């Protein structure tokens, strides 16, 4: 099953979302001068808009990704609550809100100038969960068949020991977006999704401010402490999945340009829960949630990610041309599946039968073939100033259309040694002119030779074309 098939399964899922509901207010304007009364910028307001935040933003993304959901939470009994209700209806989200007249609805107001954040104002107090809320929670879980439960904890009072105890008795995987104030509640859930700072705070590490150089140890510590799988989000560094009884799985970021990180965590847990409910594989689900997050940070505010956006991005990301880091993760997963990974490399400047036969031979040596393709700069260094004839983008595009090749990656060194050390294939295929004194890496790999076909080389083809001109 590929990623697109997984996303298309979302429409058959039903997700239960419980947590702190927030009204996000965005004030947009321009700053052209500084206040003469105090050294602060003056925001000339152009427009104002409200968006669903917190657990409501999770529910919004569940629905925009094509699934059904039910949202349970608490608000005040005020105008902000009325705005939230209208937004939930507008987005076609099923909900049950308990209104607490003693506290205001949680509201975060953000002022932005030229899409840059200037200031945030928080209006909030802690809620108290009563027996009516707990009884409704039990009734909802008994009545509906949910594929997953998402706990969206912003530390405002909705998530309590009694609430989590009820959720743990329900037969569905629980996904938790944590807040440190409630860290004692999260043991024995299915997945916890902290950012790196939160992961350190969830652990017993003393230094909470510096990034950990031993993140693998941090992940293992959290797995043991909470008996849960851990997905650590790391901003521009992507994500790392720490899954029980498996090696850490690094997922590089795919964000093209970051405009706003508000609500990115809500998108991650929404897509993660939906994907897992559709394929029951945490690695694939984490990759999908990473792509969804990359779309979210390219938007201003808590704008949702839509199913068609995710599908389009996954089709683009699932192409054959990969980075070294992506291939390292792919190969690790393939080996876990007991697949044999084959590697070969070359310039492939003008594609000819010598190339296609080599690639067909290489593919037959294992399950998956990775091609290391020389960059333009490296070919010029190896072959001279008149080469390459075709640019690396054009060469990669042509080769990506060959069924024999599963993945392509570029390398600019004289030899692919560093690349081989990164991806560590089991089998390496070389042409008949390869000399054994040219090492192929320090790791153990079997080298298999494809006999050279006389007269079938790019250099001979170019010389023949010159002579015929």
Statement: residue 436 has pLDDT above 70: no
Residue 261: pLDDT over 70: no
Gyration radius (Cα) of the chain, Å: 27
Contact at 8 Å (CB) between 100 and 130? Answer: no
Strand order in the sheet with 446-450: 407-411, 368-374, 341-346, 427-431, 446-450
Q: Which residue has better confidence, 261 or 418?
A: 418
And the tokens for 384? 């001279």
Proportion of the chain above pLDDT 70, given as a percent: 87
| Highest-confidence segment of 178-182, 311-315, 322-326 | 178-182
DSSP of 380-446, one letter per residue? HHHH-TT--SS-HHHHHHHHHT-TT-SEEEEE-SSSSHHHHHHH--SEEEEETT--TTS---SS--E
Res 187: pLDDT: 95
In this predicted structure, what is the pLDDT of residue 314? 79
Which residues form the catalytic set? 266
Q: Widest CA span of the chain, in angstroms?
A: 91
Q: First CA to last CA across the chain, in angstroms?
A: 51
Cα→Cα distances 276→13, 23, 272, 307, Å = 10, 28, 6, 16
Is the confidence at residue 330, as pLDDT, over 80? yes
Phi, psi of 116 (to 5 degrees): -105, 135
Q: Assess contact for 146 and 59: CB atoms under 8 A.
A: no
Going from N- to C-terminal start, the domains of the chain cover 3-318, 327-468
DSSP class of residue 448 equals E
Res 435: pLDDT = 60
Strands 68-76 and 94-100: parallel
Instruction: Give CA–CA dist 390/411, Å, rounded.
Output: 16
Using the predicted structure, report yes or no on whether residue 361 has a pLDDT greater than 90.
yes
Indicate if the pLDDT at residue 249 is higher than 60.
yes
Is 327-468 in CATH node 3.40.50.620?
yes
- Distance, CA of 26 to CA of 302 (rounded, Å): 10
Mean pLDDT value across residues 368-392: 90
Range in 81-90, 180-189, 240-249, 392-401 the model is least confident about: 392-401
> 3-318, which class in CATH?
alpha beta
State CA 232 to chain mean position distance.
Answer: 11
What is the distance between the alpha carbons of residues 239 and 68, in angstroms, rounded to a whole number?
26
The answer to whether residue 288 scores a pLDDT higher than 60 is yes
> DSSP string of 220-234?
HHHHHHHSSEEEEE-
Nearest to 95 by CA among 15, 172, 189: 15
CA angle 235/151/15 to nearest 5° reads 105
Which of 59-73, 297-311, 319-333 has the largest mean confidence? 59-73
Domains 3-318 and 327-468 share a fold: no
Note the Cα 194 to chain centre separation in Å.
13
């Amino acid at each position: 099953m590929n990623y697109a098939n997984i996303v298309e399964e979302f429409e058959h899922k039903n997700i239960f979302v419980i947590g702190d509901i927030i009204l996000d207010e965005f004030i947009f304007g321009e700053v052209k001068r500084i206040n003469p009364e105090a050294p602060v910028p003056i925001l000339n307001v152009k427009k104002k808009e409200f968006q669903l935040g917190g657990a409501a933003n999770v529910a919004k993304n569940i629905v925009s990704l094509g699934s059904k959901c039910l949202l349970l939470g608490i608000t005040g009994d005020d105008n902000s609550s009325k705005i939230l209700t209208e937004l939930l209806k507008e987005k076609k989200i099923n909900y049950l809100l308990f209104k607490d007249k003693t506290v205001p609805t949680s509201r975060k107001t953000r002022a932005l100038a030229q899409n840059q954040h200037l200031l945030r104002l928080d209006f909030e107090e802690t809620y108290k969960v009563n027996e009516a809320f707990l009884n409704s929670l039990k009734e909802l879980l008994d009545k509906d068949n949910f594929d997953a439960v998402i706990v969206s904890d912003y530390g405002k009072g909705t998530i309590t020991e009694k609430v989590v105890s009820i959720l743990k008795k329900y037969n569905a995987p629980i996904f938790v977006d944590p807040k440190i104030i409630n860290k004692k509640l999260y043991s024995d859930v299915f997945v916890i999704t902290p950012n790196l700072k939160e992961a350190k705070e969830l652990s017993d590490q003393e230094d909470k401010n510096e990034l950990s150089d031993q993140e693998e140890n941090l992940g293992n510590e959290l797995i043991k402490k909470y008996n849960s799988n851990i997905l650590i989000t790391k901003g521009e560094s992507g994500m790392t999945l720490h899954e029980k009884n498996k090696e850490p799985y690094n997922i590089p970021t795919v964000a093209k340009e970051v405009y706003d990180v508000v609500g990115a965590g809500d998108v991650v847990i929404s897509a993660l829960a939906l994907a897992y409910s559709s394929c029951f594989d945490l690695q694939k689900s984490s990759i999908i949630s990473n792509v969804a997050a990359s779309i979210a940070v390219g938007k201003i505010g808590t704008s949702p990610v839509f199913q068609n956006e995710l599908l389009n991005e996954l089709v683009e990301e699932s192409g054959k041309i990969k980075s070294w880091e992506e291939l390292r993760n792919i190969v690790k997963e393939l080996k876990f599946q007991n697949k044999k990974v084959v590697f070969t490399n070359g310039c492939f400047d003008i594609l000819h039968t010598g190339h296609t036969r080599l690639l067909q031979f290489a593919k037959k040596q294992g399950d998956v073939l990775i091609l290391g393709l020389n960059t333009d700069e490296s070919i010029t260094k190896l072959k001279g100033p008149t080469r390459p004839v075709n640019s690396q983008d054009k060469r990669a595009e042509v080769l990506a259309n060959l069924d024999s090749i599963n993945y392509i990656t570029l390398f600019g060194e004289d030899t692919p040694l560093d690349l081989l050390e990164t991806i560590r294939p089991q089998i390496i295929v070389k042409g008949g002119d390869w000399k054994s004194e040219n090492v192929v890496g320090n790791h153990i790999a079997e080298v298999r030779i494809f006999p050279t076909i006389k007269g079938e080389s790019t250099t001979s083809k170019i010389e023949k074309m010159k002579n015929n001109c």
